[in-house]
Structure 1
C-alpha cells in the first residue's frame, strides 16, 4: 500500500508519519516497509531518531541514475534523458517492490529504528533561483509509478506541505492520503483546498486530527471535516519528548494515541488496490506534462512512451 501524509505546514504531518512508520515496524516483525521523506524540510529521519550525518545519498541528487535503472530495456523510452517524472512503466521497464533487493535501494535506503528510509534531499544553495523543489520530488513520482506493492506492504511518504503535490500527478499515487489537521481554521482551510483539487481524481482522503486537547477540539474538527475525520492524536508527552530529541519506543506512546495509529492501519489494510485506475492516472498526467512542456524539450512527442495495454501489478513484477 502507498500512503501519503499531507497537511498544513506545522500541522505535525512529519510527526504522524514517523509514529505510523514506527508503529508498523513494531506491530509486525520485519514488515515490508519503506519510508520516503519528500518534504522540502527534511525532518523524517530525525523524527525517527537518526543522527543528522548527511552521509546517505538522496534521490533528488541522482535522478539520472534512478531513470537509468527504471527504464530498463523499455523500447519506448529512448534514453534516461528522454524520461520525465511522469513517464509510465511499460514492457521492459524495471518495476520495484517495497522490499526488493535492488541497486536503487542499496544505494539510497538506510535503516533507522527498524524503518527503511529514503530521502528526496533538501533544497540546496545551488538550486536557489534556478530550479524548484518539484524537480527533486520527481524522483519520488518516478519510483511510485514503477512500484508494485501488495497487501501487508507499506510505502509511507511524508509529503510537501499544503497543496504543493498538485504541481504534478504525485497526489494520485497513493492508496490512502492521511491529511493531518489541527483544530484551527487555517488547517481546515488546507483540508478544503486539498479536497477541492483532488475531487475529480478519486483520491481517498482520511483526516487525522492532531494537537487535540479536549472535546471542543474534536467537535470543531467534526463540524468542519465531517465523516472524513478518521481519528485524532491527543496531548502527548511522548511526542513532546521526541520534539526535544528524546525518541522513546513507540510502545510507550499513550494508549489512546496508539489506538489512533491502529485505526489508521486498519483503514489502509481494508483498501483494495485498483491497478488499472492507478496506471490510467499515471498515463493521464504523463500526457498532460508531455503536451505542456516536455515534448518541446525532447523534440518529439512523448506520448509515444505510453505502452498500450500494459497495466502494472504483482503479475507484472513477477514477469
Structure 2
C-alpha cells in the first residue's frame, strides 16, 4: 500500500502523515514513512524527539551518490542513471514506535535542470520505495507532485490532498488534483485539516464539490498545538484527532486497489 500526502504548505499534511504512520503501525503493519518535503520534519511528527539521532537526508550523501552511480570513477562526468538502491533503506532508516522513517532531502543545483548523482540517487530510491517494497509506504510530499514523475506516480495507490478552510488552500488542492490526473494517479482523496467547526467543514465540502472524495477531517485543537510546540507526535497526546485519524485510515483502506488491480501491496 503506497500513499502520498500533499497539499499547500502549512495545511497540516506532515501532521496527518505522522498520525497515519503511527496509527497503521499500531495495527502491526510494517510502515515506512518517507519525508519527501524539504520543508517538513516527518520524524518529529512520528515522535522522534529533538536531540535524538535523526534520519540522514539522502540528498546530502554526496560520496554515497557518487559511489553508487559510478561518478567517483569517471572523470568525464558520466554516471549510471539506475544505481543500486535496494539495500539502502534499512541502512539509513530510523525506527520509532514501529515506524521506519527515511528522509529524502533536497538537492542544491548549481544550475536549473541539473541532473547530478545526488538527484539520481534520490529519484532511484523513490522509484524503489514505490515499486519494489512491500511495506506500507506513507510519503509526505511537497505541495506539488511533479517530482514523482511518470513511471512512479502510477504506483501510488492513493494520493491524499490535505486542504484547510481557505481559498488558496482549495486552489492548490484542485491544481494538485489536475496534475495527478496528468500523471495517471487513479485514486485521489481529500482530508479537511484545521477544522474549527461545522462552518469550516461546510466551506471545504462546498469548495470541493460532491464529485470529490472527502476521506475525513482533522479538527484543530489545543492538544495538536501543544504537540507542535513540543515537536512531538500528536499520536502521543489525547484528543479528538485520534478518532478522526483512525476514521481517515479506515476510509483510505476501503479505497485501496485489490490485488487484481495492483501489482503491489
TM > 0.5 fold call: yes
Q: 131, 149, 162: which is aligned to 1:168?
A: 149
Query: For residues 291-316 of structure 1, what are the alpha-carbon distances to aligned partners after superposition, in whole Å with 9 as ceiling and x for unaligned?
Result: xxxxxxxxxxxxxxxxxxxxx658xx
1:1-319 equivalence runs, <5 A: 1-26=1-26, 28-29=27-28, 31-50=29-48, 51-52=50-51, 56-60=55-59, 61=61, 62-63=64-65, 81-84=79-82, 103-123=87-107, 127=108, 129-130=110-111, 135=119, 137-149=122-134, 153-161=135-143, 163-165=144-146, 168-169=149-150, 170-200=152-182, 201-226=184-209, 227-245=212-230, 247=232, 250=235, 252-255=237-240, 257-270=241-254, 271-273=256-258, 313=264
Work out whether residues 163 and 190 of structure 2, in 8 Å CA contact, stay in contact via their aligned partners in 1: yes
Distance 1:83 1:146, change over 3 A: farther
Tell me which protein shows more helix as a share of its residues: 1
Alignment TM-score, normalising by the size of structure 2: 0.78
Distance across 1 between alignment mates of 2:4 and 2:31: 14
Contact 1:120–1:139 under 8 Å retained in 2: no
Q: Shift of the alpha carbon at 1:63?
A: 4.2
List alignment gaps of at least 5 residues for structure 1.
Answer: 69-79, 86-92, 97-102, 279-311, 315-319
Structure 1 residues 137 and 105: alpha-carbon distance in aligned structure 2, compared to 1, 3 A threshold = closer
8 Å contact 1:37–1:118 — kept in the other structure? yes
CA distance in 2, matches of 1:121, 1:254: 31
Secondary structure of 2:79's counterpart equals helix
C-alpha distance in 1 between matches for 2:136 and 2:249: 10
Cα deviation code 1:183-203 (max 9, x no counterpart): 110010011111222224143
Q: Measured at CA, do residues 131 and 111 of structure 1 come closer, stay the same or move farther in structure 2, by a change above 3 Å?
A: farther
Q: Max radius of gyration: which structure?
A: 1
Whether the 8 Å CA contact 2:19–2:233 is kept in 1: the answer is: no
- Distance in 2 of aligned mates of 1:202 and 1:232: 22
Runs of 4+ deviating beyond 6 Å:
65-68, 131-134
Task: Say whether the 8 Å CA contact 1:57–1:107 is kept in structure 2.
Answer: no
1:285 alignment counterpart = none
Number of the residue aligned with 1:289: none
Between the aligned partners of 1:37 and 1:248, the Cα distance in structure 2 is 15
